[in-house]
């Protein structure tokens, strides 16, 4: 039985041929040429050498669409800027679809837009784990669970690379806060690295990713981008990655350490490389190490066929309309209905109810900021989308008590504007929180739409009847929102992270003092014209040189107990558990059967379960299978996601679903043997529609 077929990308040119080509070029290169190849060129390029047939290769961000850059720090990039690019819903929303096939189409669309723009390297996908709800970059990543993230990443990599574009797995590794990102030292044990932080990268490497970007932070005292442990040991030796490794932008301050670390490309071509030539000339740095870096860069480009075929292909512009449809489908499947009391939703199209819409991000589209920013075109705002379906809808940016009381339904739109380079508070701004409280107290039918790149505090929203997580919808996602509110689309998104009641419930709590004055620092580092209502984040980005004096530790005390693993084990009830998401129909799981009650360590276990749509409308749910060791010899989470399947069922329909558990579903990484181990014994198997809603339990014995 080998039903678990992992997606795999095959390079158009074989590694052997590419390697030979690279070897033959590097022997011809001068030292200066080599030193220029191993550092970025004009911020976003790998330098080209016409005489060797190496093209200049354009690298561009990022995970949720192509970031259009007209310029960068005074550098004119307008010749390379795409005239347009589709703004997709953010990748955390993509993960909330629990649909890896959709991740493939999403990534393929982005790859095709790269081809239209002549972009050879996409600087994504990002896959740092959601350990901290305040991380300003959670929106670009894939949630808290390594298994779920891994299934999205492998499809993403294959989707992008099959279009002929390199995918870059980033940021390796343990980069889980953006508060003073160059100064944060992740103090993390090896087991947590292996079980929580590396699996998404491993799946990307196994799927054939051609590039990896290291992270800004330090790992146990060493900056990741110049760490032998991180790159040579973890990435190259353990994960077997042999292609291009690049640093994150301006994250290197020691070129000798970089040369010895297994890094290939310093980006974006900073001052840290200035003295390298003299080090090579005086014998402090071996030329063989520089050669190896050049060989790996050229080999990667050669095996993608960049040396022999043009990257730019204008015919892909014709596919942008299709890409927009993939973006729409992502929003349809990614929007999460968190609460729906008294079935306040759906409200049918053309309803004569008096609907009042108020709050923020209604007549503008909100997206995550920084390098991952994609603004899109053809934008459909929430107001455009909802006015189309509700003729009696009134929009008031400032609603009075009378407005709120007088409406049949109030829709309040709230959210956070998450940014790279800073974290933001878990709680909404006081103004937004007050609006939710006021609306829901004055009006019994209050629905809140959340636009955010991660979890927010919703603990006091006792009077709110429905909560819809809209994430960052991209240019067309609000159409899906209108479909969900009207019931045309039955929501099927499930949370890819836990939403805790209070941030203090989270193991990440305490890394930045709540008292830290984020306002003044915001004013110092960011655009001061940003309205008060959005000043909800800390910004302390520093240069790597300044960072030396500002180093602080982020203690990963929880080890492997990240996300629901923590809340389960510590018996802390979150507000909304991992995997949670409602539908307008109901599903029932039944009749769980195992292919055997006892398996050998090398065997695959098949788990079959019946799932039935017991409601009146068609819909989809995700069957989630969690495994927990009954008598573990080391602290292990109560349960861990090890298989899942999204299932579409017509009203009344019943299907039998097969899920497969391979050996790695039972194993843990042992800090003693420094290997993956599986204990013989009993394992609990939990099946449900969220991590907290387990509907069936059984056991298997592993021999
Ligand atoms: C970000 C990377 C990004 C790079 C290039 C950095 O600030 O951390 O994710 O790819 O800039 O834009």
**8-state DSSP, 582:** B
* Residue of minimum CA distance from atom 8 in ligand 1: 248
Q: Is 61 close to ligand 1, i.e. is its CB under 6 Å away?
A: yes
Distance 248 CA to ligand 1 centre (A): 6
pLDDT of residue 5: 86
Average pLDDT (74-80) is 91
Ligand 1 centroid distance, CA of 170 (Å) = 9
The residue that leads in pLDDT, 521 or 79, is: 79
Q: What is the 3-state secondary structure (H, E, C) of 137-200?
A: CHHHCCCCCHHHHHHHHHHHHHHHHCCCCEEEEEEECCCCCCCCCCCEEEECCHHHHHHHHCHH
Q: pLDDT per residue over 653-674, tens digit each?
A: 999 999 999 999 999 999 999 9
Which atom of ligand 1 is least distant from the CA of 216?
Answer: 8
The best mutation among 248, 372, 418 to test binding of ligand 1, ranked by most ligand atoms within 8 Å of the C-beta, falls on: 248
Only one residue has tokens 């504007």, namely 417
Q: For residues 437-447, b (16+ Cβ closer than 10 Å) or e, as one string?
A: bbbbebbebbb
First and final C-alpha spacing in the chain: 18
State the average pLDDT for the chain.
Answer: 95
For ligand 1, atom 7: residue with the closest CA: 249
Collapse the DSSP code of 296 into the 3-class scheme (helix H, G, I; strand E, B; otherwise coil) and give the result. Answer: helix
Average pLDDT value for residue range 371-389:
97
- Judged against a pLDDT cut of 80, whether residue 525 lies above it is answered with no
Nearest-CA residue for atom 12 of ligand 1: 371
DSSP structural state of residue 533? G
Which ligand 1 atom is nearest residue 168's CA? 10
One DSSP character per residue, 199-253 reads HHHHHHHHTT--EEEE-SSEETTEEGGG-TIIIIIIIIIIT---SEEEPPTT--S
Q: How many Å lie between the centroid of ligand 1 and the Cα of residue 249?
A: 6
- Measured by CA distance, the residue closest to atom 9 of ligand 1 is 371
* Distance from Cα 371 to the centre of ligand 1, integer Å: 5
Residues 646-654, mean pLDDT to the nearest whole number: 98
Ligand 1 centre distance from Cα of residue 125 (Å): 11
| pLDDT tens per residue across span 384-410 | 999 999 999 999 999 999 999 999 999
Which residue from 61, 177, 246 has its CB within 8 A of the most atoms of ligand 1, so it is best to mutate? 61
Calculate how far, in angstroms, residue 375's C-alpha sits from the geometric centre of ligand 1.
17
145 alpha carbon to ligand 1 midpoint, in Å?
Answer: 23
pLDDT value at residue 1: 59
pLDDT for 270 equals 80
Contact between residue 687 and residue 589 where contact means Cβ atoms under 8 Å apart: yes
Q: Which residue has the higher pLDDT, 156 or 534?
A: 156
Q: How many residues does the chain have?
A: 703
* 134-141 average pLDDT score: 96
249 close to ligand 1 (CB < 6 Angstrom)? yes
Q: What spacing in Å lies between the alpha carbon of 429 and ligand 1's midpoint?
A: 27
Q: What percent of the chain has pLDDT over 70?
A: 96
Pocket test for ligand 1, best of 136, 173, 370 (most atoms within 8 A of CB): 370
Q: Are 347 and 407 in contact (CB under 8 A)?
A: no
- Is the alpha carbon torsion for 171, 176, 181, 187 positive or negative? negative
CA dihedral 135, 136, 140, 145 (to 10 degrees): 10
* 170 Cβ inside 6 Å of ligand 1: yes
Protein residue with its CA nearest to atom 4 in ligand 1: 249
Q: Ligand 1 pocket test: which of 44, 62, 67 has the largest number of ligand atoms within 8 Å of its C-beta?
A: 62
Q: How far is CA 482 from the centre of its chain?
A: 25
Calculate how far, in angstroms, residue 71's C-alpha sits from the geometric centre of ligand 1: 15
- Tell me the best of 125, 223, 224, 249 to mutate to test the pocket of ligand 1, counting ligand atoms within 8 Å of each CB and taking the most: 249
| pLDDT value at residue 520 | 41
Tell me: pLDDT of 207 over 90: yes
- In this predicted structure, the answer to whether residue 507 has a pLDDT above a threshold of 80 is yes
In this structure, what token pair is assigned to residue 256? 């000798």
The answer to whether the CB of 250 is under 6 A from ligand 1 is no
Which two three-digit tokens encode residue 596? Answer: 């055997």
3-class DSSP state of 358: strand
**Residue 13 CA, ligand 1 centroid: distance in Å:** 29
pLDDT of residue 421: 87
pLDDT tens for each residue of 574-607? 999 999 999 999 999 998 999 999 999 999 999 9
- The tokens describing 472, both together, are 């960052």
Kindly indicate the confidence band of residue 523, based on its pLDDT and cuts at 50, 70 and 90.
very low
User: Mean pLDDT throughout 113-138?
Assistant: 97
Distance CA 496, CA 474 (A): 18
Nearest ligand 1 atom to the CA of 123 is 10
Q: Is residue 422 within 6 Å of ligand 1 at its C-beta?
A: no
248 lines ligand 1 (CB under 6 A): yes
Three-state DSSP class for 362? coil
Report CA(64)–ligand 1 centroid distance (Å): 13
The predicted model scores a pTM of 0.97
Query: How many angstroms separate the Cα of 275 from the Cα of each of 60, 260, 278, 450, 566?
Result: 28, 15, 6, 50, 47
How far apart CA 130 and CA 539 sit, in angstroms, is 19
Q: Which atom of ligand 1 is nearest to the CA of 61?
A: 10
Q: Atom 6 (ligand 1): residue with closest C-alpha?
A: 249
645 lines ligand 1 (CB under 6 A): no
The whole-number pLDDT of residue 530 equals 53
521 Cα–ligand 1 center, Å = 22
């Amino acid at each position: 039985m080998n039903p678990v077929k992992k997606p795999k990308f095959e390079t158009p040119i074989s590694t052997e041929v590419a390697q030979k080509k690279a070897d033959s070029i590097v022997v011809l290169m001068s030292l200066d040429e080599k030193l220029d190849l191993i550092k970025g060129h004009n911020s976003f390029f790998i330098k080209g050498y016409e005489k060797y047939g190496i093209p200049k290769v354009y690298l561009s961000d990022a995970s949720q669409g192509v970031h259009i850059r007209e310029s960068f720090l005074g550098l004119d990039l307008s010749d390379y800027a795409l005239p347009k690019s589709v703004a997709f819903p953010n990748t955390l929303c993509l993960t909330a679809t629990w649909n890896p096939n959709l991740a493939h189409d999403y990534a393929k669309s982005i790859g095709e837009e790269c081809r239209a723009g002549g972009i050879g390297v996409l600087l994504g996908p990002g896959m740092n784990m959601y350990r901290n709800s305040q991380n300003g970059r959670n929106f670009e990543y894939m949630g808290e669970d390594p298994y779920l993230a891994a299934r999205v990443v492998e499809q993403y990599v294959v989707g992008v690379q099959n279009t002929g574009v390199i995918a870059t797995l980033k940021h390796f590794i343990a980069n889980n806060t953006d508060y003073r990102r160059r100064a944060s030292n992740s103090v993390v044990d090896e087991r947590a690295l292996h079980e929580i932080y590396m699996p998404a990268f491993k799946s990307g490497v196994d799927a054939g990713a051609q590039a990896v970007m290291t992270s800004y932070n330090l790992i146990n005292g060493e900056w990741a981008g110049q760490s032998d442990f991180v790159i040579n040991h973890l990435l190259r030796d353990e994960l077997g990655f042999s292609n291009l490794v690049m640093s994150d932008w301006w994250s290197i301050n020691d070129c000798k350490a970089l040369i010895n670390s297994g890094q290939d490309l310093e980006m974006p071509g900073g001052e840290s490389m200035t003295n390298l030539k003299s080090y090579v000339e005086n014998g402090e740095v071996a030329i063989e190490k520089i050669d190896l870096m050049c060989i790996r860069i050229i080999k990667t480009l050669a095996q993608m066929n960049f040396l022999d075929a043009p990257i730019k292909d204008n015919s892909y512009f014709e596919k942008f309309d299709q890409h927009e449809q993939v973006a729409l489908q992502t929003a349809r499947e990614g929007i999460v209905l968190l609460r729906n009391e008294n079935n306040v939703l759906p409200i049918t199209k053309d309803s004569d109810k008096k609907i009042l819409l108020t709050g923020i991000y209604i007549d503008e589209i909100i997206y995550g900021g920084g390098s991952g920013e994609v603004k899109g075109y053809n934008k459909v705002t929430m107001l455009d989308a909802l006015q189309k379906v509700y003729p009696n809808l009134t929009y008031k940016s400032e609603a009075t008590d009378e407005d709120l009381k007088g409406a049949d339904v109030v829709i309040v739109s709230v959210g956070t504007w998450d940014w790279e380079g800073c974290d933001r508070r878990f709680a909404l701004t006081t103004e937004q929180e007050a609006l939710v409280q006021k609306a829901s107290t004055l009006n019994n039918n209050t629905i809140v739409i959340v636009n955010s790149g991660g979890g927010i505090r919703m603990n006091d929203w006792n009077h709110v009847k429905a909560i819809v997580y809209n994430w960052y919808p991209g240019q067309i996602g609000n159409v899906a929102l209108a479909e969900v509110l009207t019931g045309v689309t039955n929501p099927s998104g499930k949370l890819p992270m836990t939403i805790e009641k209070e941030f203090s419930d989270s193991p990440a709590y305490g890394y930045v003092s709540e008292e830290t004055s984020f306002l003044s620092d915001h004013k110092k580092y960011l655009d001061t014209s940003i309205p008060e209502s959005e000043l909800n984040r800390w910004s302390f980005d520093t240069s790597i040189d300044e960072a030396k004096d500002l180093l602080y530790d982020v203690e990963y005390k929880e080890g492997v107990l990240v996300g629901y693993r923590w809340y389960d084990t510590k018996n802390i009830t979150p507000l909304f558990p991992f995997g949670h998401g409602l539908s307008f129909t109901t599903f029932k799981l039944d009749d769980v059967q195992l292919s055997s009650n006892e398996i050998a360590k090398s065997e695959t276990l098949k788990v079959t379960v019946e799932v039935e749509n017991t409601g009146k409308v068609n819909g989809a749910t995700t069957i989630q299978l969690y495994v927990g060791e009954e008598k573990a010899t080391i602290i292990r989470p109560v349960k861990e996601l090890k298989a899942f399947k999204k299932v579409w069922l017509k009203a009344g329909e019943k299907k039998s679903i097969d899920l497969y558990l391979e050996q790695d579903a039972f194993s843990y990484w042992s800090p003693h043997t420094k290997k993956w181990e599986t204990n013989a014994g009993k394992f609990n198997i939990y099946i449900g529609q969220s991590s907290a809603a387990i509907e069936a339990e059984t056991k298997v014995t592993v021999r």
